Amino acid sequence: MSRIARGAGAFGLAAVVSFAITAYGQGLWGPLVLANLRLSPAVPWAPPLMALLLAGLLLYLSGRGWPASTSTARRRLLRWNPMPLSTFALAVGSGLLALVAFAGLWIAVSDLVHIPPGVQPSAAGIPLATAIPILLMSSLAAPLSEEAAFRGYAMGLLEKAWGSAPAAIVGSSLLFAAAHFPQGLDAAKLGLYFTAGLLFAAIAYLTNSLYAAMVVHGLGDVIGFTLLWPHDQQAHAMGFGDALFAPALAAIAIFAPLAILAFRRLARASKALRDPRAERPLSPAPVAA
Domain assignment present for 83: yes
235 in a structural domain: yes
- Inside any domain, residue 285: no
Q: Does residue 205 fall inside a structural domain? A: yes
Is position 63 within any domain?
yes
Number of compact structural domains in the chain: 1
Residue 283 placed within a domain: no
pLDDT value at residue 265: 98
The mean pLDDT of 17-38, rounded to a whole number, is 91
Per DSSP (E only), the strands in the chain are none
- What pLDDT sits at residue 123? 59
Asked if residue 151 is part of any domain, the answer here is: yes
Terminal alpha carbon distance of the chain: 46
Report the percentage of the chain scoring pLDDT > 70.
92
Instruction: Name every residue whose Cβ is closer than 8 Å to that of residue 255 and which is 6 or more positions away in sequence.
Output: 97, 98, 100, 101, 104
Region of poorest pLDDT, from 64-78, 87-101, 118-132? 118-132
Selection from 30, 189, 173, 176 nearest residue 117 by Cα: 189
The model carries a pTM of 0.89
Please choose, from the candidates 200, 199, 175, 180, the residue with its C-alpha nearest in 3D space to the C-alpha of residue 190: 180
What one-character-per-residue DSSP string does 177-190 give?
A: HHTTGGG---HHHH
Mean pLDDT computed over 1-26: 90
Q: What is the pLDDT of residue 115?
A: 86
| Structural domain contains residue 284 | no
Instruction: Give residue 277's pLDDT.
Output: 59
265: DSSP letter: H
Q: What is the pLDDT of residue 122?
A: 59
Using pLDDT thresholds of 50, 70 and 90, give the confidence band for residue 121: low
Domain interval for residue 172: 3-120+128-274
pLDDT in the model for residue 135: 84
Mean pLDDT of 60-83: 93
The radius of gyration computed from the CA coordinates of the chain, to the nearest angstrom, equals 19
pLDDT tens profile 164-209: 999 999 999 999 999 998 877 889 999 999 999 999 999 999 999 9
On the question of pLDDT at 283 being above 50, the answer is no
Count of H-run helices and E-run strands, the chain: 11, 0
pLDDT in tens, 228-259: 988 988 888 888 999 999 999 999 999 999 99
d(CA 119, CA 64): 34
